[in-house]
Each structure stands twice: as structure tokens, then as C-alpha cells.
Amino acid sequence: MSASINIDRIIYSHRSTIALIIQPDGTLTVRVPPRTPESQIREFVEGHANWIHKKQLQIQAAPTPPLKNYHAGELFLFLGKEYPLKLVSHSQTGLIMRENIFYLSHANLPSARESFIHWYKAQAREVISGRVSLYAQMNGFAWQKIRISSARTRWGSCSAAGNLSFTWRLVLAPLEVIDYVVIHELVHTTIKNHSTRFWQRVAELMPDYKKRLTWLKKNGRFLTIDGR
């Protein structure tokens, strides 16, 4: 393999083909079938070197998420919309949102980032669990547990046992984008790979899924705080 191409992560999974994934931070993940020889993986990566370089250059040239200063009036995303932060003098526990305004006490400023993440995680569990239950009931899917993670480069996943995992960062996206990720993972409870049959099933349930997926690919880097 060319020395200029670095494989940052190899994931062996129950699939029939090799897939290249350029993560939002520019790193390269290669998903491969079980027991795929390293020589075959390297040969595949070499054959797609131009595509990999092109995608990584696009990421490098793209704007980066602005750093948060947690000052009064600063805007924070929730369900695809931005809401201002208001600092208050009275004591309160953590971060609250009321009437489309985030409220944080001056005393909690040193832990402002942690307060936002705690709030986002709680909202993600409530919102995403509701959407999973809705679409599962509508379409006859069965799932086991829902976990809210802090993953940076993966929006959701489905284990072999039917356990679903979603990153809290997803709750910063519009609801229609959240719904796409939910449908994607629910379909994985019955189809474990990304075969043609899988995407056909996604399209049956969500005919405009490509539009939602495109939004996520284009804007996913901004679904974060402090650029982390």
C-alpha cells in the first residue's frame, strides 16, 4: 500500500464487501468481511487512493465548527435550530431550557461544556427513544435496549442482539435527520449489512432518505460543541 495512505481503523463485520469510510475528522475506516487478508485490504485501499485523497482534502478545506465561549447570547443547536444562552446570577442546578432560551448560572460556567453535554444526553434519550418506539411500532421492528453514547464519528449502531446505540450529538440535528438514523438502525435489526436489500427496505420506509443522508454528510461536522 502507498505510504501516503494510512488506515486508521479496520472493522471486521458480517458483510460481503469492503467499504471505505472517511470519517468527519478525515481518518480512514475500512469495514471488511470476517477473515479478510490484510494484503487484500491494502490492495483495495491502493486501488481507491485517488478517491481517498480527494475526500480527505475536501474535509481539510471545509470550515471547522467554531469554538464555544459560553457567553451571553451565544447560540446552541437543538433539533436543528439555534437557541441563545442566557447567564443568570441565581443558583440553579446545571443547564435548563425554557421558552427557547438556554439558562446557565454564572456559578456553573466552569463546567458549562459538561452541563450542555449532560442536557443533550438527557434530551437525546427522550427524543430518540420516542422516535424508535414510534417507527418500530409502525413497521413491526423489535429492539432490545437503547444506549446514548458520546461517539464522534458514528451516528448510530445496531448490535447482533438488537441493542441500539445513538450518539447524543444527533439531537442537535433536525428531527427528520434523526428519523433517518433511527430508520437506518431499525432496519439493521432485520438486515445486518448494507446490501441492496437493506437500502431498498430503507427506501420503502423513507423514500427521501437520500436527502436526509446528504444533509447529515454535509452538516454532521457542526453537530458538536467546542469543536469536539
3-state secondary structure 91-118: CCCCEEEECCEEEEEHHHHHHHHHHHHH
Helix (H, G, I), strand (E, B) or coil at 84: strand
In this structure, the number of other CB atoms found within 10 A of the CB of residue 201 comes to 18
**The pLDDT of residue 151:** 85
CA 190, CA 203: separation in Å to the nearest integer?
15
pLDDT at 59: 74
User: Which residue segments constitute the domains of the chain, with CATH numbers given?
Assistant: 9-61 (no CATH), 112-222 (3.30.2010.10)
* Confidence label for 161 from pLDDT (cuts 50, 70 and 90): confident
- Rounded Cα distance, 15 and 54, in Å: 26
Q: Please give the average per-residue pLDDT across 81-98, as a whole number.
A: 87
Confidence of residue 190 (pLDDT cuts 50, 70, 90): very high
Mean pLDDT of 58-64: 73
Q: Return the minimum-mean-pLDDT range out of 2-11, 105-114, 190-199.
A: 2-11
**For position 149, what pLDDT does the model report?**
92
Here the cell at position 22 is 472517511
Dihedral over Cα of 18, 22, 24, 27: its sign = positive
Is it the case that residue 9 has pLDDT exceeding 50? yes
Rounded Cα–Cα distance for residues 107 and 93 (Å): 10
β-pair type (156-158, 164-167):
antiparallel
pTM across the whole model: 0.79
- Find, among 126, 188, 198, 123, the residue nearest to 154 by Cα: 188
For residue 55, the model assigns a pLDDT of 83
User: Do residues 29 and 8 touch, judged by C-beta distance below 8 A?
Assistant: yes
Specify the range with the lowest mean pLDDT, choosing from 82-86, 178-182, 224-228.
224-228
Residue 187: partners with Cβ closer than 8 Å, 6 or more residues away:
141, 198, 201, 202, 205
Query: What does the alpha-carbon distance between residue 197 and residue 209 come to, in Å, rounded to a whole number?
Result: 15
pLDDT at 227: 57
Q: Where are the beta strands (DSSP E) in the chain?
A: 9-12, 19-22, 28-32, 75-78, 81-88, 95-98, 101-105, 146-149, 156-158, 164-167
- pLDDT grade for 1, boundaries at 50, 70 and 90: very low
Rounded mean pLDDT of the chain? 89
The pLDDT-based confidence of 2 (bands split at 50, 70, 90) is: very low
Residue 160's pLDDT band (boundaries 50, 70, 90)? confident
Instruction: Kindly report the length of the chain.
Output: 228
Beta sheet of 101-105, edge-to-edge order: 75-78, 81-88, 101-105, 95-98
